[in-house]
Amino acid sequence: MYMNENRMAFTTKWAAGGLLIGLSVALVGGCRARTEQNVGHKEQAMSYEIPQSITTEHKELHLQLEDAIKAGGRTGEAAKVVADRLHSHFEKEEEYALPPLGLLARIAEGRVSEEMKQSIKISDKLKQEMPKMLDEHRSIVAALDDLSKAAQSENNTAAVEFVTKLKMHAQNEEEVLYPAAILVGEYLKLRFSGELPQRIDTHE
């Protein structure tokens, strides 16, 4: 859809120390991360929350999709297909694609702790599953195209706007969020191997 398989090679190149540090700081933006114990997680002893801005956006997208389904007609039927393809994809994102992003602010501040090692496995899983995640994006976008056509034919402007918003969300994931989550794991590997300093100075 937005990223071809050839672009996968650049994620490994980000392992260079200077670029890792710089991009980690740049991607923090305004995201605020908190930590909490999550006993039930399959991969982690300690789970770091997905940034609130992302979880809020996911909730809004779900609500807009529900409205499209409730609209009925061709729009409702097309929206059900989108929902079917989107549900398992969002579950995967919340399992291993987005949690590492909760560490960005702490990493940018140089606050790295031992329990963060658990996030390396999650980040590696995302890297391994990236081709499948991108395939799912393509499938979702195909369903969104059908939804857009149905919504336009029934003058459902809200559903058309939802299609645009979800496509932009997917593009942001491919261009920023997924690479950033992988970057967290690559940085932590270097940090815990001793190849990077124990403290990142984020000030000039």
Query: DSSP character for 35?
Result: E
Per the document, the length of the chain is: 204
Amino acid found at 139: S
Residue 68 φ then ψ, to 5°: -65, -40
pLDDT of the residue at 24: 36
**All structural domains of the chain with their residue ranges:** 11-192
Residue 69 φ then ψ, to 5°: -65, -40
Q: Tens-digit pLDDT profile for the chain (204 aa)? A: 444 444 443 333 333 333 333 333 333 333 333 333 333 344 343 456 899 999 999 999 999 999 999 999 999 999 999 999 999 999 999 999 999 999 999 999 988 999 999 999 999 999 999 999 999 999 999 999 999 999 999 999 999 999 999 999 999 999 999 999 999 999 999 999 887 666 544 444
Contact by Cβ (8 Å): 71, 145: no
Contact by Cβ (8 Å): 28, 102: no
Helices (H), 38-156: 52-70, 73-92, 104-108, 118-153
pLDDT of the residue at 31: 33
